[in-house]
Structure 1
Amino acid sequence: MMKHVLTLTLSPTVDKSTTVDKIVAEQKLDCDAPKFEPGGGGINVSRALKRLGLASVAVFPSGGLTGQRLQDLLDEEGIDQHPVTTKNLTRENFIVVNRTTNEQFRFGMPAPELLVREEEAILKLVKQLAPKTSYIVASGSMPQGIGDDFLAKVARIAHKEHARLVVDTSGEALKQAVDEGVYMLKPNQNELSKLTGLRVDDHDEVEEAARKIVDKGKCEIIVVSMGPLGAQTVTKDFSEHIHAPTVKKRSTVGAGDSMVAGMVYGCSKGYDLRHMVRMGIACGSAATMNPGTELFQKDDADRLYQWLVKRIKN
């Protein structure tokens, strides 16, 4: 039986972006026509996987007219989706680019509260879909009202159905998920520091902190994203720092989600560890080459991946 990837987004959004010649306080600013795109961690992972040719199923809460717009936008991109209807309105984020300086201003609205019955409905849906799932990707921030043990419950479902859980979030929910056990984590340095209580200012400290988690048997693979410095990969018997390729950065929106998508794609295609992580870095780096919330172009990701592979040291 062919199994699919399930992405879980608990704080989805409609990203509304525009550009202006310059941003000046107290003046009426003439903006370009707005662009609307679906957003939120897991949703971006699904969108990125689609660009790589890998199908996924997106699970997320959806409320009101904004939620319907989010669903319509995902339909336009051909994303298989299972929204869970919520009482509260899905949020809308706002991004403005100053054309003169290429500065980007990102206004992130708080995720609406999830009610207990809505949280239970999402868990029930994940449980129903899990038997046909090879990877569950939980990515993005946690909304108000949700239990700190929510992702731990998802981890238990993943274990029962032999699905690999990939987590990219922060806070107490991340700690409890790790305590339950996950397949792969993709924290940044700040998230890793909070998770372990250790300083992670350089490669050695990042490796030490990541190994603290791996050695407890709570996670098989940790890939720490370090921005322009690349990423540090740590498993029980392997560690490697990979430098990111140099690209002209236009926006960092969705870069982390693109990186997660690249790694999940690599895993699903049977890439070994070193090639899998390089696929993730290639997708994340390629995403920074595009403005706004556009994620990456597949040709850019493929080119950067080949560049990274050629530099693997035996």
Structure 2
Amino acid sequence: MTILAVALNPTIDISSEVQHVQPTHKMRTSLQERHAGGGGVNVARVIAKLGGRPELLILSGGATGALLEEILADLPITLRTVHVGGSTRIAFMVYERDTGQEYRFVPEGADITADEVEKAMAAVAKFRGDYIVASGSLPRGAPDDTYARMSDIAAANGVRFVLDTSGAPLRATLEKGQVFLVKPSLGELETLAGRKLDEAGLRDEAMKLVREGRSQYVAVTLGREGAILAGPNGVLRVPAIHVPVKSAVGAGDSFVGALVWLLSNGGTMEEAFRFGVAAGAAAAMTPGTELCHRDDIFAIYEGRAAYDTEA
């Protein structure tokens, strides 16, 4: 089965470490790493780590866009590129050794034009496969209904549409009712609901999206509290998997990438959901923007890792 990951607002992610973060003073960093990043890019990277060969649609521009394409060229990913006038953004993550805290600086990115949006739509329309995963923020200039239009294209072509975004683009796409699976965080689901949610409210709101036909499945990631899956058969609650945490970067993308990869390889939705939870935990074990390791995912999923789970 084939998967198309969509990254309309990709980044070059640069991570490093510093002993102590302080204002004004020059801080000497070490252990600098550079990766291709952004929601859809990370999803594709995870699928590739698991042995798949996903397709990846990116918007790329300027000298930084050329660097992004160069980095991606070394990965087992089939790249579909729409070149744009603005430059691809660069994001920074700094880990402070004194406190174990990480600081993330993510620019919003350049504006894109209506013509560039239409080129991306045309690229999506050409895809003939099984899953389209639209993940990450929209660049400036892209209308709120951009992902909603992609979900319509996917439905017309018989492709399952998976969504991981926030804010107005999330709401606009769910109003279309063409989503196979949506992955909001607790905060994003609370924004949709317009209120704070306790455990019962969380389950009710997730199932409400399913009952109203907005998404066939709703996977809500809860960080240290685990995750829930709402679908036609009700709600499944999976506890957190406690691992030594080095970075939270890419945990949600790892969850989505691993879940869709297992589905595409014949796994059931429950199996894929649990596999996604394992991938999110595995991502937390790696520093910076490294994402998850394949062996860690399978060790956690199969219960071979020496980490405790809690309800």
User: Could you say which TM-score interval applies, normalised by the shorter chain?
Assistant: over 0.9
3-state SS in 2 of match to 1:105: strand
Aligned pairs for 1:167-206 within 5 A: 167-180=163-176, 181-202=178-199, 204-206=200-202
Q: List alignment gaps of at least 5 residues for structure 1.
A: none
The counterpart of 1:138, out of the listed 134, 138, 149, is 134
Structure 1 CA distance, aligned partners of 2:224 and 2:9? 26
Q: List alignment gaps of at least 5 residues for structure 2.
A: none
Structure 1 CA distance, aligned partners of 2:294 and 2:232? 32
1:306 matched to 2:310: no
Structure 1 CA distance, aligned partners of 2:195 and 2:103? 31
**Please, what is the CA RMSD of the aligned residues?**
1.7
Residue identity in the other structure for 1:250: K
Residue identity in the other structure for 2:70: D
The counterpart of 2:49, out of the listed 48, 51, 63, is 51
What is the deviation of 1:33? Answer: 5.6
What is the deviation of 1:198? Answer: 4.2
3-state SS in 1 of match to 2:158: coil
Residue identity in the other structure for 2:166: S
Residue identity in the other structure for 1:17: S
With the length of structure 2 as denominator, give the TM-score of the two structures.
0.94
The counterpart of 1:92, out of the listed 90, 93, 111, is 90
Are the structure 2 counterparts of residues 197 and 21 from structure 1 closer, same or farther at C-alpha, using a change threshold of 3 Å?
closer
Contact 2:13 2:289 in 1 (8 A): yes
Residue identity in the other structure for 1:75: A
Contact 2:207 2:234 in 1 (8 A): no
Corresponding residue of 1:61: 59
> How many residue pairs were aligned?
306
What is the deviation of 1:21? Answer: 2.1
Identity of aligned residues (%): 33
Structure 2 CA distance, aligned partners of 1:256 and 1:53? 19
What is the deviation of 1:77? Answer: 2.2
CA deviations 1:121-162 (Å, max 9, x no partner) are 000111112xx2200000001111111111111011111111
Structure 1 CA distance, aligned partners of 2:64 and 2:101? 27
Structure 2 CA distance, aligned partners of 1:201 and 1:168? 22
Structure 1 CA distance, aligned partners of 2:196 and 2:65? 40
The counterpart of 1:107, out of the listed 105, 108, 112, is 105
Residue identity in the other structure for 1:213: L
Contact 1:196 1:212 in 2 (8 A): no
Structure 2 CA distance, aligned partners of 1:94 and 1:295? 15
The counterpart of 1:230, out of the listed 211, 226, 244, is 226
Aligned pairs for 1:116-127 within 5 A: 116-127=114-125
Structure 1 CA distance, aligned partners of 2:228 and 2:303? 18
1:249 matched to 2:245: yes
Contact 1:255 1:288 in 2 (8 A): yes
Structure 2 CA distance, aligned partners of 1:232 and 1:205? 12
What is the deviation of 1:17? Answer: 1.5
3-state SS in 2 of match to 1:144: coil
Contact 1:198 1:209 in 2 (8 A): no
